Amino acid sequence: MTYFIGIDASTTATKALLIDREGKVVGVAFQEYPYETPKPLWSEQAPSLWWEAAKVSIRQVIKQSGVKGDEIAGIGLTGQMHGLVLLDEKGKVLRPAILWNDQRTGPQCNAIRERMGKERFIEISGNNPVTSFTLPKILWVQENEPEIWEKTRQILLPKDYVRYKLTGDYAMDRGGGSGTILFDVGKRNWSTELLETFNIPPAYLPKTYEGTEKTSAVSTQAADDLGIRPRIPLFGGGGDQQASAVGTGAVREGIVSISLGTSGVIFATTDSPFIDTEGRLDTFCHSVPNKWNLMGVMLSAGGSLRWYRDTFYKGVSYDDLLKGIEGVEPGCEGVYFLPYLTGERTPYADPNARGAFVGLTVRHNEKHLTRSVIEGISFGLRDCYELIKAVGVKKIDQVRVTGGGAKSPIWRQILADILDSEIVTVNTTEGAAYGAALCALVGSGECNSLEEVCDQAVQVVQSTEPGEQTVAYNSIYSVYHELYPTLKNTFTRISTEKISN
């Protein structure tokens, strides 16, 4: 029997997932680890954590499943995007990785826009430079740790450090590469203009590959460590969001995926690189060869509901919290919730944005407030959804929703009504690691394409059609959409001024 491994090196754990040639999951193992915050707003991690966790997880998933090491036919990689890993000429790590959620690089983001012009930068990279991306982190090291930059000879992303430890080779998938914002996103490779502008030698960056393309093979040393055979091929895979989209079958134009976790991610597969010239949406290369994706990110989607529950209803289950809100009419009799509890990324890119209940009266009760939180999160997702359509994605046939919020029938109905789109759930729930394994399966020749294997392995489980409340929600959304612009200056003042009596 032939099996494939997907490895997901995320921020808090590395997962190894094993599938058979039909795409069925036969084993999952993971190893958790911490990350460090050595200063306020900083976020760093030792790359050795990913490799040690990968070794433990691979050994465990093989042992638990009863699969023999020599039956593994391919490995796909995914993981947290945008993190900066710097190696010297001997492949030694020079400093802890600076992670995607590190916020130290605001001045560098401003410098990128000033040096090149925001419009030209977005035209090439497809993205507005913000603190999560890799390029601002490189500039920070150049400016603040010149002794580290002087020794640097290779730049990698977290999952590609695991690839290096598995193979001894430097390589990167094109989805992850585009997330560094050093790509010419339309040409699907490193931008000579960007590298020259920001003084980054091309030799410091690895060769890039499509998600289903072979990048390298397991070394003898790594094979001995893991109990698998040497020369197992590794495939490009993708960043966590691209691989997650593969794992839910969002591999064709017309299928949009929404992840309702702590954050909310709305992801649209496209056949060409649609770019938001204002930089409100991200444009990346997809794990699917020669496809792209548009992506919007809400920072506090499910996180808003968790805050609301833990603050006012601690110990109550989500199911119990949402009981009875179907009896509250859309709009909650005039109360609105703004879900900007940790600032916002899409569509406003405003770290000073704040959460708020607006329109409260003595008539409102806990059911009104609870439903308004669900509606506010869903309106925030509609902001992203409307942007995707405005940028040029006109064909949307289906929205596939995953994550904790997808388990709630009432939330799915509210979301279907607010987006005026069919909302479906699917049978695959393992996310990015599953998508990475599918990349390996296709790359190994077991299936012709990711589209084909997703048609076979990913099935719709539940479907929710928009109902009679859609028209009402269009009017309610127009009010919601006015609130942030009205309150923006107030949010900024609250965040930046010392206000005293």
* pLDDT, tens only, 373-384: 999 999 999 999
The count of C-alpha atoms lying within 13 angstroms of the C-alpha of 312, restricted to the half-sphere facing its C-beta, is 14
Tokens 């040409």 locate to 187
Whether 500 shows a pLDDT value over 60: the answer reads no
Nearest-5° Cα angle at 196, 190 to 202: 50
Ranking 134-138, 250-254, 345-349, 370-374 by mean pLDDT, the lowest is 345-349
Residue ranges of E strands in 321-426: 336-338, 356-358, 398-402, 423-426
Enumerate the active-site residues: 240
The pLDDT tens digits for 219-267 are 999 999 998 999 999 999 999 999 999 999 999 999 999 998 888 999 9
How is the chain split into domains, by residue range? 3-243, 250-427+466-496
CA of residue 254 relative to chain centroid, distance: 19
First-to-last CA distance in the chain? Answer: 73
Rounded to whole angstroms, how far apart are CA atoms 291 and 429? 23
347 preceded by a cis bond (ω within 30 of 0): yes
DSSP state of 9: E
Alpha-helix runs per DSSP H in 171-213? 174-178, 192-197
Tokens 């010149």 locate to 146
Ranking 224-228, 381-385, 473-477, 487-491 by mean pLDDT, the lowest is 224-228
Rounded to whole angstroms, how far apart are CA atoms 362 and 404? 32
Whether 195 shows a pLDDT value over 60: the answer reads yes
Q: Tokens at residue 491, please?
A: 């949010």
The pLDDT tens digits for 112-124 are 999 999 999 999 9
Rounded to whole angstroms, how far apart are CA atoms 428 and 264? 18
Asked if residues 76 and 436 have their Cβ atoms less than 8 Å apart, the reply is yes
Asked if residues 155 and 147 have their Cβ atoms less than 8 Å apart, the reply is no
Return the closest-CA partner of residue 457 out of 25, 29, 77.
25
Alpha-carbon separation of residue 4 from 73, 156, 409 (angstroms):
6, 24, 34
Tokens 């560098």 locate to 108
- Residue 377, H or E segment: helix 366-391
Q: What is the pLDDT of residue 498?
A: 65
Tokens 């993971």 locate to 30
Mean pLDDT of 335-350: 92
Mean pLDDT of 458-466: 95
Torsion 251-164-231-64 (CA) sign: negative
Rounded to whole angstroms, how far apart are CA atoms 424 and 267? 14
The pLDDT tens digits for 358-414 are 999 999 999 999 999 999 999 999 999 999 999 989 889 999 999 888 999 999 999
Q: What is the CA radius of gyration of the chain?
A: 23
pLDDT band at 497 (very low <50, low <70, confident <90, very high): confident
Mean pLDDT of 261-289: 94
- Per the CATH hierarchy, to which homologous superfamily does domain 3-243 belong? ATPase, nucleotide binding domain (3.30.420.40)
Asked if residues 338 and 484 have their Cβ atoms less than 8 Å apart, the reply is yes
Confirm whether 3-243 and 250-427+466-496 share one CATH topology. yes
Mean pLDDT of 155-175: 98
Rounded to whole angstroms, how far apart are CA atoms 478 and 337? 14
CATH architecture of 250-427+466-496: 2-Layer Sandwich (3.30)
Share of the chain above pLDDT 90, in %: 90
Asked if residues 31 and 13 have their Cβ atoms less than 8 Å apart, the reply is yes
Mean pLDDT of 162-169: 98
Mean pLDDT of 31-60: 95
Nearest-5° Cα angle at 377, 100 to 126: 40
Alpha-carbon separation of residue 327 from 171, 330, 368, 489 (angstroms):
54, 9, 9, 35
pLDDT band at 501 (very low <50, low <70, confident <90, very high): very low
Mean pLDDT of 60-80: 95
- 3-state class of 3 per DSSP? strand
Length of the chain: 501
